[in-house]
Structure 1
Amino acid sequence: MINNKILENITVLYAEDESIIQKGITETLNLFEIDVICAKDGQEGLSIFKSGEKKIDLILTDIKMPKLDGLEMIKKIREIDKDIPVIVTTAHQETTYLMQSIELNISSYVLKPIDIYKLEECLIKAIEPKVLREELIEKNKKLEIEIKKNEEKQKVMEAQSRFAAMGEMISMIAHQWRQPLASIGTASFNLKYKLLSGKFDLETKQGRDEQSEFFTNKLDEIEFYVQNLTTTIDDFRNFYKTDKILVLENIEKPIKNALKIIQKDLQTNNIEVILDFKSEKKINIYENEIIHVIINLLKNAQDKFLEKEIKNSKIEVKTEDIDNGIKIEIYDNGGGIEEKNIDFIFEPYFSTKKEKNGTGIGLYMSKIIIEKNHHGQIYVTNTKDGVTFSIILECV
């Protein structure tokens, strides 16, 4: 049985030229908590509808009325609103009226004398689609607002992820630059010392040749180290490019580029990296995003090694071709993930690291990059004395 609560607080425009009938039906509709606006004929009904002073949810009208009959009124109203539900009341069962009603998309009709229970049933059936449609529109609006909020939240998380990665990158740049800068400092000191100490006898050709050779060698060393610094900057600058361009290439390239960026950090912490590249397929990827994911997984493993003080720490990176694409596996021996946490590690702001070290967005953003941006899969399993992150990317 359809709930008659759906009729509460709706507004009905009721056109009826017989005042006694109109009064009785209006009082009955009021009992259903329906707000009724009355019109004595079709012309007044049309005028009330056009005025738009109050939102009208349903029209109830007699057919035969002076000045403008019910069907003509409905016809003109349909030019304004083709969907508003309409119920006609009539003492006639003529085929002509019935056909015209069908053409005007009438919800239903009630014969006079009006059966109140029949009228209530017709009102409910007529108004229900409109109410449900409006509820759906309202829900869609709320859903659009939530989607927009989620998109804004996503942008914030992406920015947070970038800033977190940037901090790590600055640390890695410092590591990678320390040795070349120290070597440049040593070379320049040697040049200055030799120059000021008069170690070369510039009065002789041999002395001049020795000085030239020494200066050339040291300047070559400085040039080499400067080139090393420039290459490092280029690597990091390329990583932070915001261009999102799909490139067709072997997955080995972005993995090697990720390792190139982070390798000094891994070496400093005595972390062994074992590579086993077997994938030969080329796939469409956003290269910098894949680099971002690989770096994040490698940094997570490194942080785990340092936090747990793991000896003989090791990371294995494997690739292989599968039926519809390629598979990447990154294993580390830093201990497994607690079962109570393993289902939550890809959730935003969830972190198993110490509070000061974990943002809880790295794995979440990795999941977004793999599953949303590349339509792939990423999952984690406890393996041996550590964990394995598996990434599956399909060839399109």
Structure 2
Amino acid sequence: MIDKQILKDLTVLYAEDEEAIQNGITETLNLFELNVICAKNGEEGLSIFKSSNKKIDLILTDIKMPKLDGLEMIKKIREIDKDIPVIITTAHQETTFLMQSIELNISAYVLKPIDIYKLQDNLIKAIEPKVLKEQLIEKNKKLQIEIQKNEEKQKVMEIQSRFAAMGEMISMIAHQWRQPLASIGTASFNLKYKLLSGKFDLTTKEGREEQTSFFTNKLDEIEFYVQNLTATIDDFRDFYKTDKIFIDTNIEKPLQNSLKIIQKDLQANNIEVILNHKSKKNIRVCENEITHVFINILKNAKDKFLEKNANDAKIEISTQDLDNSVKIDIYDNGGEIEKENIDFIFEPYFSTKKEKNGTGIGLYMSKIIIENNHNGKIYVSNTKGGVCFSIILESV
């Protein structure tokens, strides 16, 4: 129930042709802390309503008045404002008046002489829906502001996640390029050395053939390594495509794409990857986003191994078909997550990395991608002295 204070400072348009009644009721309304604008008849009341620069919250009107009666005044006001609360006062109990007042959406019908206590209750009941509506509108506005803030916050997180992933990818590219670039450097040095040192006797056919064979082999090597570098660029470029194109595919494809990008980084740190693929069903996914999730989980596992200087580091990836979905488990034996942390692992800006070089948004964005963008589930559990991330995606 709304408090009586709800009437405080509201403005009432009060139309009554009998001056004594109007003065008495106006005094009472002032006691209720209402602001009162008085009219002597319906015509004056309508004119005040149209011209008033002050917000009128409620109308209290007699029915029988000269020039324009109360019902006709309300009928014309309803053409301007369909929702303003209206209370009618009258000395009559005619059915005709009652039916007309119902058609005009009258909030209350008060008989004269007016009982001021009932009048107060009627005023509260009349204004209550309007106040509740205004409160709801205000709450909705605040809610929309909060939603907008959250959307903006999420966009910032997405950008931060992209930049963080980009830094990691550049590191991986550098690692994958190091060996081909070294091989290209070695091949070009050998070519240059052989050419300048005069190791080939170009005055003989055998010498020229030997030179041709040597140069051809070295150029073939350089071409092979250049193709390797180009393939790496293509892999990473595809990963960073921003268009969300959903395709029907087996989960093995985005898994293999993820491993293709991060495999050498894992191998360089002596991390064994065991893939146990049993799923046969197709799922509808945005490949780039799912690849992002897999790489993030694998990268976190690698960082944990390095932080703990783990021996016999191992990541096991398994897939299986459920009734209407596909389940992916990614397990690592790098130690369990502390019990006090496991419930917060998907929270934004939460990181367990001791060196504090983690952004704390990777797993949060992974959860958004799986649950919001793919209508799936992702959760984490401690098992077998390590951690298992489980992802469930609907099959098609």
Q: What TM-score, normalized to structure 2?
A: 0.99
Structure-2 residue corresponding to 1:368: 368
Which position in structure 1 is the counterpart of 2:258? 258
Worse-superposed segment, 176-185 or 7-16: 7-16
What secondary structure is seen at the aligned counterpart in 1 of 2:279? coil
Q: Describe the SS at the equivalent of 2:389.
A: strand
1:197 offset after TM fit, Å? Answer: 1.0
Q: Matches of 1:169 and 1:56 in 2, distance apart?
A: 64
Map of 1:207 onto structure 2: 207
Q: Which runs of 5+ in 1 are unaligned?
A: none
Counterpart residue number, 2:27: 27
| Aligned partner letter, 1:17 | D
Q: Report what 2:232 is aligned to.
A: 232
Distance 1:51 1:334 in 2: 77
- Partner SS, residue 84 of structure 2: coil
Counterpart-to-counterpart distance in 2, 1:49 and 1:264: 79
Structure 2 residue matching 1:199: 3-state secondary structure? coil
Displacement after TM superposition at 1:230 (Å) = 0.4
Q: CA deviation at 1:115?
A: 0.4
2:395: which partner in 1? 395
Q: Which amino acid in 2 is paired with 1:307?
A: E
Rounded Cα–Cα distance in structure 2 between residues aligned with 1:273 and 1:102 = 77
CA deviations on 1:95-126 (whole Å, 9 max, x unpaired) are 11111101101111100000011111111111
User: Secondary structure, in 3 states, of the residue corresponding to 1:79?
Assistant: helix
State whether structure 2 residue 76 is matched by structure 1 residue 76.
Answer: yes
| Distance in 2 (alpha carbons) for counterparts of 1:52 and 1:184 | 86
Q: Distance in 2 between matches of 1:51 and 1:299?
A: 69
**Aligned-partner Cα distance in 2 for 1:275–1:17:** 90
Q: Residue 289 of structure 2 corresponds to which residue in structure 1? A: 289
Which deviates more, 38-47 or 141-150? 38-47
Paired with 1:223 and 1:323, the residues of 2 have a C-alpha distance of 48
Aligned residue in 1 for 2:101: 101
Write the distance in 2 (CA, Å) between the matches of 1:70 and 1:119. 18
Indicate the residue corresponding to 2:267 in structure 1: 267
Unaligned runs of 5+ in 2: none
Mapping of residues 1-396 of structure 1, within 5 Å: 2-396=2-396
Show CA shifts across 1:33-54 (max 9, x none): 1111111111111111112401
Pair 1:367–1:52, CA change in 2 (3 A): farther
Partners of 1:299 and 1:11 in 2: CA distance: 65
Task: State the Cα RMSD in Å.
Answer: 0.9
Q: Identify which range, 147-156 or 354-363, moves more after superposition.
A: 354-363
Identity of counterpart residues, as a percentage? 81
Q: Deviations over 1:25-73 (max 9, x none)?
A: 1111111111111111111111111124011111110011111111011
User: Shift of the alpha carbon at 1:2?
Assistant: 4.9
Q: Secondary structure at the match of 1:59?
A: strand
Distance 1:179 1:110 in 2: 93
Letter of the aligned partner of 1:3 in structure 2?
D
Cα distance in 1, alignment partners of residues 32 and 296 from structure 2: 63
After TM superposition, give the deviation of residue 9 of structure 1 in Å.
Answer: 1.9
C-alpha separation between the residues in 2 aligned to 1:138 and 1:65? Answer: 38
Q: Secondary structure at the match of 1:279?
A: coil
* CA pair 322-206 structure 1, distance change in 2 beyond 3 A: same
The letter for the 1-side match of 2:300 is N
* SS of the residue 1:110 aligns to: strand
Deviations 1:239-286 (A, max 9, x none): 000010111101111111011111111011100000001111111101
Distance (Å, rounded) in 2 between the aligned partners of 1:371 and 1:5: 46
d(CA) in 1 for partners of 2:52, 2:2: 30
TM-score between both structures, scaled by the size of structure 1: 0.99
The alpha carbon displacement at 1:355 in A equals: 4.3
Residues 355, 35 of structure 1: alpha-carbon distance in 2 compared, 3 angstrom cutoff: farther
Off by >2 Å, runs of 4+ in structure 1: none
Give the count of matched residue pairs.
396
Q: Give 2:295's aligned amino acid.
A: I
Farther-moved stretch of structure 1 (348-357 vs 158-167) = 348-357
Deviation of 1:354 after TM superposition, in Å, equals 2.1
